[in-house]
């Protein structure tokens, strides 16, 4: 066994133990209303104090436990998925640094110390996305790091603006911060959680290995922006910028759902599903319900990580084919996979009494009871219906009995390593919503809806999803130009991938070409470097001719020429 596998095994066991301790501490924090804040001074500049702060309240402890649980399971799963990898030690070290960066971001309530985790996530995620070092992964990594760099700049500007407050702590903000500063924090959260118009990098980051995707797209990188917005939720509501969260997140949720329905790459379908759920979380924050947003963040992390692991097993068994149309009959050849994939998909849809049901149902009830704009409510309902549509599509493509694979197939049932790694997260996908709703969540979710209204919410999701899926199965759609253009736009996330990559690059390339033509190949070059060289060569030839002449001596020609040059300069 290599050093990387031994390191992963030890880290996995340690993370699972730390997860149990964190969950226990979180439940105790809720029961006794107890929080622990550690702070020590690093530097004092007049009235401003730069300090290193750590906060351990119910929210940070439960989130820390979730990250540790998923990280431990992913590390155990990596031993199966990355078997035979030459650079496994490098992969393990980068993944460990990634997890440590997420820890720092969770427990640091200070904008300066937050940068340790925030930039650490950006750097290590770039290293993980470009891990395979081909053209596709390098392009995806550059798009990821440059999109997130916008958020990094926003965090740095917000640190500069918070200098006047005398402190960079945001755990308990007493005063109402400037709306420009709050907008910078919202911008940073949007870039990290891939809200519009920064959504293109999240599906592109699927170029990373599948264990990395299971970790990144469930509980770490993409949820870091949502977690930051949760911490700033009260300040955002005071600054009356909640409408920005509502508008952007509703559009993101609807756009990602449409894209997932038309996408054929199975990993990108799950990535767009993550984007849709992130839009739902940010929408909840826009309505001022930060506890519900955190609740859905935790339940989503549980079923989405197990869903990614199941999809990774399908890709691994299908000889690295990611097209869902090339996968089938997993329900017969892998019954354990069929059960896990079906249950996690139902949890994603919000099937009653699974993890996603408790958070999604409460969210939709609150949305109907609030004074939210009707267009936002329609977008939320449409996005929820599309969740059912693409979940049914994934199940139909992968677990159906019809076989489209080769006659000699390597598909088998889940091996022992995969079962051990997915089992804990699968049980969490079934039970975490119930336990958090009744035991952990320190806020009641009262409902004033009648029985018919409560059933209407579930009916809208189910009927809308089934209808959208049925429309997708129609074979007689007219191949008109407008229809194909609309389908192309929806499958490419409303052309955001083009707008985020080719359009911004075009103008610098054109400016560079113009500069080459004007400066290097234009009149500047003729009268500059090359012209000066030609003039010097011609003058030196004249001097040589004068020096060898018998009639006129060289020093006379040199003197006259020097005198003429001096007159011209004067």
DSSP string, 95-120: HHHHHHHHHHHHH--BHHHHHHHHHH
- CA 169 to each of CA 32, 281, 375, 402, 457: distance values in angstroms, whole numbers, following the listed order: 24, 24, 36, 57, 40
Mean pLDDT of 428-454: 72
Which two three-digit tokens encode residue 525? 């070059």
Say how far apart CA 349 and CA 274 lie, in whole Å: 12
User: % helix / strand / coil in the chain, to the nearest 5?
Assistant: 75, 5, 20
- CA 269 to each of CA 261, 308, 393: distance values in angstroms, whole numbers, following the listed order: 8, 10, 10
Mean pLDDT of 98-111: 86
Say how far apart CA 263 and CA 272 lie, in whole Å: 9
Q: What is the mean pLDDT of the chain?
A: 77
Instruction: Tell me: pLDDT of 533 over 80.
Output: no
pTM confidence score: 0.81
Does residue 279 contact residue 383 with C-beta atoms inside 8 Å? yes
Instruction: Tell me: pLDDT of 16 over 50.
Output: yes
Does residue 402 contact residue 329 with C-beta atoms inside 8 Å? yes
User: Count of CB atoms within 10 A of residue 5's CB?
Assistant: 18
* pLDDT tens figures, 49-80: 777 888 888 888 888 888 888 888 888 888 77
Does residue 71 contact residue 99 with C-beta atoms inside 8 Å? yes
> Which among 420, 221, 218, 204 has a CA at the least distance from the CA of 308?
218
> Which among 153, 62, 42 has a CA at the least distance from the CA of 106?
62
Mean pLDDT of 364-389: 78
* pLDDT tens figures, 298-348: 888 888 888 888 887 777 777 666 666 666 666 666 777 778 888 888 888
Alpha helices in 108-241 (DSSP H): 111-129, 135-161, 179-192, 201-204, 210-216, 221-231, 233-238
| 353 Ramachandran zone, left/alpha/beta (phi>0; psi -120 to 50) | left
Which two three-digit tokens encode residue 505? 């690059």
Which of 106-115, 198-207, 446-455, 555-564 is predicted least confidently?
A: 446-455
DSSP string for 288-305: T-HHHHHHHHHHHHHHHH
């Amino acid at each position: 066994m290599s050093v990387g596998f031994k390191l992963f095994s030890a880290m996995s066991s340690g993370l699972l133990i730390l997860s149990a301790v964190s969950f226990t501490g979180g439940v105790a924090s809720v029961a006794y209303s107890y929080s622990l804040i550690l702070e020590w001074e690093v530097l004092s500049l007049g009235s401003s104090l730069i300090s290193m702060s750590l906060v351990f309240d119910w929210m940070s402890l439960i989130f820390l436990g979730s990250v540790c649980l998923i990280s431990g399971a992913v590390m155990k799963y990596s031993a199966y998925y990355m078997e035979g990898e030459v650079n496994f030690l490098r992969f393990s070290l980068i993944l460990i640094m990634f997890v440590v960066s997420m820890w720092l971001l969770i427990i640091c309530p200070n904008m300066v110390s937050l940068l340790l985790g925030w930039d650490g996530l950006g750097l290590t995620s770039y290293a993980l996305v470009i891990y395979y070092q081909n053209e596709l992964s390098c392009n995806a990594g550059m798009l990821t790091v440059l999109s997130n760099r916008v958020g990094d700049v926003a965090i740095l500007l917000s640190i500069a603006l918070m200098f006047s407050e005398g402190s960079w702590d945001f755990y308990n903000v007493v005063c109402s911060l400037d709306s420009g500063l709050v907008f910078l924090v919202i911008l940073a959260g949007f870039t990290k959680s891939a809200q519009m118009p920064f959504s293109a990098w999240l599906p592109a980051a699927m170029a990373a290995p599948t264990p990395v995707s299971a970790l990144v797209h469930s509980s770490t990188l993409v949820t870091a922006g949502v977690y930051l917005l949760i911490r700033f939720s009260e300040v955002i509501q005071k600054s009356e910028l909640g409408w920005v969260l509502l508008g952007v997140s509703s559009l993101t949720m609807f756009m990602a759902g449409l894209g997932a329905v038309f996408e054929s790459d199975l990993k990108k379908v799950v990535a767009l599903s993550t984007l849709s759920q992130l839009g739902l979380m940010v929408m909840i924050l826009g309505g001022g319900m930060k506890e519900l947003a955190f609740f859905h963040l935790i339940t989503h992390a549980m079923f989405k990580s197990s869903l990614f692991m199941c999809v990774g097993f399908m890709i691994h068994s299908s000889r690295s084919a990611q097209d869902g149309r090339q996968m089938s009959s997993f329900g017969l050849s892998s019954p354990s996979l069929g059960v896990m994939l079906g249950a996690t998909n139902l949890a994603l849809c919000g099937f009653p009494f699974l993890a996603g049901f408790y958070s999604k149902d409460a969210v939709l009830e609150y949305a109907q009871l609030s004074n939210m704009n009707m267009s936002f409510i329609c977008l939320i309902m449409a996005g929820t219906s599309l969740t059912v549509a693409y979940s049914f599509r994934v199940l139909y493509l992968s677990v159906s009995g019809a076989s489209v694979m080769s006659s000699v197939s390597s598909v088998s049932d889940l091996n022992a390593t995969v079962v051990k790694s997915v089992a804990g997260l699968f049980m969490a996908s079934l039970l975490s919503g119930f336990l958090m709703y009744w035991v952990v969540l320190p806020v009641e979710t009262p409902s004033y809806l009648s029985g018919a209204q409560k059933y209407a919410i579930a009916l809208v999701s189910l009927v809308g999803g089934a209808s959208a899926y049925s429309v997708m199965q129609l074979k007689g759609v007219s191949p008109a130009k407008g229809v194909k253009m609309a389908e192309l736009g929806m499958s490419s996330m409303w052309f955001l991938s083009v707008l985020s990559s080719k359009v911004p690059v075009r103008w610098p390339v054109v400016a560079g070409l113009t500069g080459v033509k004007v400066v290097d190949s234009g009149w500047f070059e003729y009268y500059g470097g090359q012209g000066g060289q030609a003039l010097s060569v011609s003058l030196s030839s004249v001097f040589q001719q004068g020096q060898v002449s018998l009639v006129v001596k060289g020093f006379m020609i040199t003197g006259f020429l020097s005198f003429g040059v001096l007159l011209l300069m004067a």
